[in-house]
C-alpha cells in the first residue's frame, strides 16, 4: 500500500464529523463479517467464474489496477477480466471490439466484482462508499471532489444507485461528497438494498450507446459556458457552445487523428467568443473532453494569425514547427493554419517514436471557472486511444 505525496493529503482529510467517526468501527466490523461470509459461501461460484474466464477470454483471469481509497492511499483492485486482450493485428482495439457476450454477462450481473470482496476483507475497500478510481484522475479533482477520499472506496455507493455510469462525472462526484457528509448505517442499508435491485435489472452498466463510460479528464463544470452535444460517433464529437445566458458562441469539435492523438477545433460564431476569459474556458473544457477519450496527445488547429496561440501556450500547448512534425500526427501542413500540441497523459508509453517523446510533458489544467488560477501536472497513464482500449473497466 502506498500514499500519494504529503502535499496531496493535508487537513482536507481530517474534517470528519463525530457521528461519522463513531460509525466507522461498526462499519468496518460489518465489512469484515459480510466479506468473510460471502467469500466462503460464494467460493464455488468464484472458482467456476475463474474457469469460465480462462476458457472464454484466456489468461489472465483477473483484472488488477491501482486505485485510490481513503486518505488517497493507493491499493491494487481485483476483478474478473471481462474483455479480451488488446490485439491490433486481430482487430481487437476498442472496447466494443474486445467485449464479448460472456464479458457483457459478467458486467451486467456484476459478477466481475466478486474478487473485490478480498479488497474489502483487507481493508482497502468497504461494501458501501465512493467507487475507487484510478490514480491518474487525482490531479484533476477539485478540493471539494477530493473529499470523496475521506472514507474508504466502496463496492457500491450513492452514485452507483443513482444511475451508475449514466451519471456524468461531476454529478457522480457530487453524490460521493453527499455520501461523505451523510454516511450512516441506515444510509448504507438503503444503498445496499437499492444495489441488489439495480444488479437484478442490470441497469446503468455503461453510458448510452457505449460499451463503457468515458474517462474523467477534469471537471466540466463552468460558470461561463454551456456545451450541448450535437454529434457523437466513434471518431468525431461536436458541441454547440453558448454562454450561460444562452448566447451562441460557436462550435467545438474533437476528432480522432490516429491511434493516440485527437484533433481539436473551435469555430467562433460571434464577437462575444473573443472575450479572453471565454476563450480560456473553451480551451479548458475542450482539453478536458479530449483527455476523457484517453488520447495521449491533443492537437489544436487554429488560423495562423489567431490570438488563441498565447492562450494555448498558457495551457501547455506548443506549436508544431517544420513540415514534418504535423505529418507525424497525420495532418498535412498548411500556411493558413497553425497546429499546437500537448501531451494529455505526460508519461504515456509511446514506443520508439523519439520525435513524439520529445514533446514537453507540461499540459496543464487551470481552474478558471472557479477563479483559482491553479496549475496541475497531469498523472501517469498507459498509452490510450480514442475508445480507451487496454484501459478496461472504465469508470467502474
Q: How confident is the model at residue 24 (pLDDT cuts 50, 70, 90)?
A: confident
pLDDT score for 218: 92
pLDDT score for 98: 75
Q: Select from 250, 304, 252, 310 the least CA-distant residue to 276.
A: 310
Q: What is the mean pLDDT of residues 127-150?
A: 94
Euclidean distance between CA atoms 383 and 389, whole angstroms: 9
**201 pLDDT higher than 80:** no
Residue of 347 and 354 predicted with greater confidence: 347
pLDDT score for 392: 42
- CATH code of the region 225-376: 3.40.630.30
Euclidean distance between CA atoms 174 and 241, whole angstroms: 24
SS3 category, 131: coil
Q: What is the mean pLDDT of residues 216-234?
A: 93
Q: What is the mean pLDDT of residues 168-185?
A: 95
SS3 category, 246: coil
335 alpha carbon, distance to own chain's centre: 36
pLDDT score for 45: 96
pTM of this prediction exceeds 0.75: yes
Question: For residue 118, what are the CA distances in angstroms to 127, 149, 170?
Answer: 11, 20, 29
What stretches of the chain show up as alpha helix (H) in DSSP?
18-56, 95-98, 101-109, 116-122, 143-146, 169-182, 185-201, 276-292, 308-314, 324-328, 354-357
DSSP 8-state code for residue 245: T
Q: What is the mean pLDDT of residues 79-97?
A: 73
pLDDT score for 356: 45
Residue of 362 and 254 predicted with greater confidence: 254
Q: How confident is the model at residue 369 (pLDDT cuts 50, 70, 90)?
A: very low
pLDDT score for 205: 53
Euclidean distance between CA atoms 311 and 284, whole angstroms: 10
pLDDT score for 324: 67
**202 pLDDT higher than 70:** no
Residues 68, 138 contacting (CB under 8 angstroms): yes
- Tell me where in the chain the CATH 3.40.630.30 domain(s) lie: 225-376
**390 pLDDT higher than 60:** no
Q: How confident is the model at residue 377 (pLDDT cuts 50, 70, 90)?
A: very low
Euclidean distance between CA atoms 112 and 39, whole angstroms: 14
Own/partner pairs, 224-228, CB within 8 angstroms, 24+ separation: 224/277, 224/278, 224/281, 224/369, 225/249, 225/278, 225/281, 225/282, 225/285, 227/252, 227/285, 227/289
Percentage of residues of the chain with pLDDT beyond 70: 71
pLDDT score for 381: 30
pLDDT digits (tens, 9 = 90+) for 102-130: 888 898 888 999 999 999 999 999 999 99
pLDDT digits (tens, 9 = 90+) for 321-334: 766 666 666 666 66
| Element of type H or E holding 237 | strand 236-243
SS3 category, 129: coil
pLDDT digits (tens, 9 = 90+) for 239-292: 999 999 999 999 999 999 877 889 999 998 877 777 899 999 999 999 999 998
Triad 396, 74, 192: Cα angle to 5°: 40
Q: What is the mean pLDDT of residues 62-86?
A: 92
pLDDT digits (tens, 9 = 90+) for 33-47: 999 999 999 999 999
Most confident option among 12-16, 226-230, 306-310? 226-230
Q: How confident is the model at residue 363 (pLDDT cuts 50, 70, 90)?
A: low
Q: How many CB atoms lie within 10 A of CB 80?
A: 23
Q: How confident is the model at residue 351 (pLDDT cuts 50, 70, 90)?
A: very low
pLDDT score for 94: 62
Most confident option among 189-193, 305-309, 322-326, 329-333? 189-193
**295 pLDDT higher than 60:** yes
pLDDT score for 391: 41
Amino acid at each position: 500500500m502506498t500514499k500519494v505525496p504529503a502535499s496531496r493529503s493535508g487537513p482536507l482529510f481530517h474534517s470528519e464529523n463525530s457521528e461519522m467517526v463513531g460509525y466507522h468501527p461498526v462499519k468496518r466490523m460489518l465489512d469484515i463479517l459480510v466479506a468473510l461470509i460471502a467469500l466462503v459461501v460464494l467460493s464455488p461460484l468464484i472458482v467456476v467464474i475463474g474457469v469460465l474466464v480462462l476458457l472464454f477470454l484466456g489468461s489472465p483471469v483477473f483484472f488488477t489496477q491501482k486505485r485510490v481509497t481513503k486518505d488517497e492511499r493507493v491499493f491494487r483492485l481485483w476483478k474478473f477480466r471481462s474483455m479480451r486482450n488488446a490485439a491490433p493485428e486481430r482487430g481487437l482495439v476498442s472496447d466494443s471490439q474486445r467485449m464479448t457476450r460472456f464479458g457483457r454477462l459478467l458486467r451486467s450481473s456484476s459478477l466481475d466484482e466478486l474478487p473485490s470482496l478480498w479488497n474489502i476483507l483487507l481493508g482497502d475497500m468497504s461494501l458501501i462508499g465512493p467507487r475507487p478510481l484510478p490514480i491518474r484522475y487525482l490531479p484533476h479533482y477539485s478540493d471539494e471532489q477530493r473529499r470523496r477520499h475521506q472514507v474508504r472506496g466502496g463496492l457500491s455507493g450513492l452514485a452507483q444507485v443513482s444511475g451508475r455510469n449514466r451519471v456524468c462525472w461531476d454529478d457522480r462526484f457530487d453524490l460521493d461528497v453527499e455520501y461523505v457528509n451523510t454516511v450512516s448505517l441506515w444510509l448504507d442499508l438503503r444503498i445496499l438494498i437499492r444495489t441488489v435491485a439495480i444488479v437484478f435489472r442490470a441497469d446503468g452498466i455503461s453510458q448510452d450507446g457505449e460499451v463503457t463510460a468515458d474517462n474523467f479528464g477534469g471537471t466540466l463544470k463552468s460558470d461561463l459556458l454551456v456545451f450541448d452535444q450535437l454529434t457523437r460517433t466513434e471518431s468525431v464529437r461536436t458541441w454547440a457552445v453558448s454562454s450561460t445566458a444562452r448566447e451562441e458562441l460557436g462550435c467545438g469539435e474533437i476528432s480522432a487523428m490516429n491511434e493516440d492523438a485527437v484533433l481539436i477545433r473551435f469555430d467562433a460564431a460571434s464577437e462575444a467568443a473573443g472575450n479572453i476569459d471565454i476563450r480560456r474556458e473553451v480551451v479548458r473544457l475542450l482539453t478536458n473532453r479530449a483527455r476523457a477519450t484517453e488520447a495521449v496527445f491533443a492537437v489544436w488547429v487554429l488560423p495562423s494569425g489567431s490570438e488563441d496561440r498565447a492562450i494555448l501556450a498558457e495551457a501547455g500547448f506548443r506549436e508544431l514547427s517544420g513540415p514534418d512534425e504535423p505529418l507525424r500526427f497525420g495532418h498535412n501542413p498548411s500556411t493558413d493554419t497553425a497546429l499546437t500540441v500537448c501531451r494529455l497523459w505526460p508519461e504515456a508509453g509511446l514506443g520508439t517514436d523519439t520525435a513524439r517523446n520529445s514533446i514537453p510533458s507540461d499540459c496543464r489544467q487551470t481552474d478558471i471557472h472557479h477563479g483559482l488560477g491553479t496549475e496541475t501536472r497531469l498523472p501517469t497513464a498507459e498509452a490510450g486511444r480514442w475508445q480507451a482500449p487496454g484501459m478496461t473497466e472504465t469508470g467502474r
